[in-house]
Chains A and B, each alone.
Chain A
């Protein structure tokens, strides 16, 4: 061993440990809530999602009571509509997706041998946004103002203010806000998994959980933005009467269905894959052997991730699309069964190859998979268009989707809860209660949902609030209701097991299940994730590297200290996880809460059309975010390099594509670009459905459009030049170029505005001007943000926080400008030239 790792004295070791503990410690008292540590955020996130699940479950029980007997008047029709809409919405948006974000934030850092996620404050921001948005959406039902048009909000019902009151706005704005939180989480997960793994954890050694989450986070980037674009169109119609979905003025409700299901179907797999990822951690542990077919799981995760985007139209089989279109989606829907099946066979093979210990987590896991397989098989049935035409919008579909989601997601999540609970509390949950809960849930589930296949085949449509006695649905519904309550009893047993006081229970041992992966060396009492960052040499380091846990806890690996008082982790290379940088992450802060709450307030005020409040909240949010960036990011370190231990010295600062900030910007802009592509899709969609989609209305001025595109290109060129001259050290020229670029951007925006304004295009008159305006507004809003970034870089440079050697901010802004240039050129080329070309 080198001199750098010579034996340290006991005092030195204690002092190191104390410094590290102090840096990662949580504040006491009410300031506890300002924590950004992944343990707290993960736990809060998960608890909140679980609470929302119980709330939505209670709504489901109310619905089941109403449907227990024919001609029941327990609930009014309107309340029933609100209940099923909120049930679906909450389960999907406030439980299924966030719970995986919670689990990932909680588990990923220790699993990857990292101290933290790369952007802890972003994680905290995501949580507070989610909590506020969730309470807002759920709370609406207590004011009889919940959305009531079904969880997929189809227009024209949901755009009609007479039939759907403020509830639809609450749905749109509350959930848009949460979708932003999901994208923030996706950015964090992708960067965390690709760049922050422990040294030596090459991609062939990465835990399968991380593989799955990487794919899921990528899917979020392409699935959520179309819905955000859809929400934007929808809210513009509701708020300002822009006729995107109004057939009378050239709009089309089907566009919403496309945008919703381009999100909605991948969403099913966004929910399912992380749950299966938990199984991929649990099954090897209880088979006491490595997973059989690691590469096959990677195949399945990546394959499902891609194929799931070719399924969306199978929700629209009954809308009258050409049969060849239906057939493409039918084919892809059948193809996705291949990778899904591969995963299940991998688990079975692992169990067959090992010696299975049938613990509570395994019970929930295998029971859930059995249920999921049934749901998968009915899925293959409804993927066939002719069968779907019969079963569409009946209880058969209700049964199918609950088999898929509860078997594929809820049961594995409960399995994960029983498996990972010792990481939260250092104690196991009760085995007895767990088994009781499992059998209640398993039996109750099948009793509740199996009969729904039959009531569906007997013609019972979904979403009816009651039914007459003589058509043969009554006893099936009664059985379903009984089953639902048995199922709920099982869930309550789980809840009881989690919240019952356990202080008399002795502290459990480390790694109680004898698992092989790294997360089991973290101690619930400590906030630092890992005492020192290990070198990983195996897929199951705790099985294969015998002295790893001891050496980690003795601080014998990387970064065992925090001399400078910073929270630090390592950045490693994507493929081979070679250490390349020390990453200093943000600590405890109020700024995340202030930003999230003010952004939430802006959305809520917008719902009620309180314009002044919206403006005020937006300004507060803007200031908070700027303060956050200014004080917490791109900090120039006090020295260029740092000794991280084991004789290795690493840089403290990186810019360009070496920095995690650049990756975050890139990933965010990919998501942003997807939303933009969805709007462009809308433009061409309207072109296809009309003989003349301009309806005789004069289009945007081609000359102004071309001027705008050229000026944006010029502004982009000036930005690139600014970055280049800054690297050469000519700071004054860089500042001049920034100012010039800013002015050019303002001119470009004015020209862009003139394009639809000069022919007097009225967006409320017809969908053609509306879609043109929305594209222009999209680009102009991004340009406005671009000027803020330019001004920010200028200010950073003047304040000495942006120098020729420390140009991360400028690098990231130039990256933003690449994307802005693409959006601007596409927009102005399309709106200016396409109508003339047709």
Chain B
């Protein structure tokens, strides 16, 4: 059994990390918004919301790290430098890997940005 998925030939892998960012963002925002609007729905304190955000963040960062590792692999572990502009399948794959790696980096930072408020805010103040 493979631990990591096999490399697949598609454009969509480029968007993996940003999609994870978007999902994480929505989970945090919607979760907190529903909690603050309907605190009676679940008998939990705000710390639970913060713990939930922390858990979501760990999951999101792990997924992005996985996407980054796959991208690094697709990029040939950095054995070849950009610009990857030869008209070959190999350079096209390297380009995809490198661009995906960059996007994973940006998404990683953006997920951390999104999670930061939960470090500082302790209640649903308006």
Contacts and interface: CB of A to CB of B under 8 A. Distances in A.
A303 B19 CA distance: 10
Given A295-B102, A302-B14, A325-B32, A203 B114 contact: no
Contacts of B32: 322, 324-325, 328
Contacts of A325: 29, 32-33, 36
Give the interface centre of B22, B82, B106, B116 by most chain A CB atoms within 10 Å: B106
Contacts of B18: 302-303, 305-307
Interface residues of A, number: 45
Contacts of B102: 295-296, 298-299
Give the interface centre of A204, A324, A339, A576 by most chain B CB atoms within 10 Å: A324
Nearest to A202: B92
A307 B11 contact: no
Contacts of A324: 32, 36, 49, 117-118, 121, 124
Interface string A654-673: 00000000000000000000
A536 B87 contact: yes
Contacts of B125: 322-323
Contacts of A331: 113-114, 116-117
B99 interface: yes
A202 B93 CA distance: 10
Interface in B76-126: 82-85, 87, 89, 91-92, 94-96, 98-99, 102-103, 106-107, 109-110, 113-114, 116-118, 120-121, 124-126
Contact of A302 (B33, B37, B103): B103
A503 to B, nearest CB: 41
Given A302-B103, A324-B121, A200 B15 contact: no
B65 to A, nearest CB: 17
Contact of A306 (B22, B89, B114): B22
Interface in A324-349: 324-325, 327-332, 334-335, 338-339
A290 B36 contact: no
Interface string A285-318: 0000010011110110011011101100000000
Contacts of B114: 310, 328, 331-332, 335
A349 to B, nearest CB: 12
Contacts of A698: none
Contacts of A335: 109-110, 113-114
Given A295-B99, A299-B106, A332-B110, A322 B33 contact: yes
Given A307-B110, A575-B9, A295 B87 contact: no
B126 A323 contact: yes
B72 interface: no
Contacts of B28: 328
Contacts of B107: 303, 306
A328 B29 contact: yes
Given A309-B22, A576-B92, A321 B99 contact: no
B126 to A, nearest CB: 5
A575 B92 contact: yes
A537 B87 CA distance: 5
A209 to B, nearest CB: 16
A549 B120 CA distance: 61
A204 B96 contact: yes
A204 B92 contact: yes
B124 A322 contact: yes
B103 A328 contact: no
Contact of B89 (A303, A539, A576): A576
A295 B106 CA distance: 13
Given A203-B11, A309-B22, A328 B117 contact: yes
Contacts of B92: 202-204, 575-576
A303 B37 contact: no
Given A302-B103, A328-B114, A539 B85 contact: yes
A307 to B, nearest CB: 6
Contacts of A290: 83, 85
Contacts of B14: 302
Contacts of A310: 21-22, 25, 110, 114
Nearest to A537: B87
B96 A322 contact: no
Contacts of B103: 299, 302-303
A339 B113 contact: no
B117 A327 contact: yes
B34 interface: yes
Interface in A144-203: 194, 200, 202-203
Nearest to A298: B99
Contacts of B6: none
B38 interface: yes
A320 interface: yes
A296 B95 CA distance: 10
A537 B107 CA distance: 32
Contacts of B10: 575
Nearest to B9: A575
Contacts of A293: 82
Nearest to A309: B22
B36 A302 contact: no
A294 B83 contact: yes
B87 A299 contact: no
Nearest to A218: B15
Contacts of B95: 203-204, 294-295
B29 A204 contact: no
A386 B78 CA distance: 43
A84 B106 CA distance: 38
Interface in A535-591: 536-539, 574-576
Given A323-B126, A332-B110, A295 B11 contact: no
A688 interface: yes
B113 A334 contact: yes
A650 interface: no
Contacts of A303: 18, 103, 106-107, 110
B85 A575 contact: no
Give the interface centre of B21, B87, B116 by most chain A CB atoms within 10 Å: B87
B11 A294 contact: no
Given A324-B118, A327-B121, 14 more contacts: A200-B87, A294-B82, A299-B102, A302-B99, A303-B106, A303-B107, A305-B18, A306-B15, A310-B21, A322-B125, A322-B126, A323-B121, A324-B36, A538-B87
Pairs of residues from A and B, 6 with the lowest C-beta to C-beta distance, nearest first: A327-B117, A204-B95, A306-B18, A299-B102, A688-B37, A322-B36
11 contacts: A194-B11, A202-B87, A203-B96, A204-B95, A204-B96, A294-B84, A322-B32, A322-B126, A324-B32, A335-B109, A338-B106
Interface of A: 194, 200, 202-205, 290, 293-296, 298-299, 302-303, 305-307, 309-310, 320-325, 327-332, 334-335, 338-339, 536-539, 574-576, 688-689
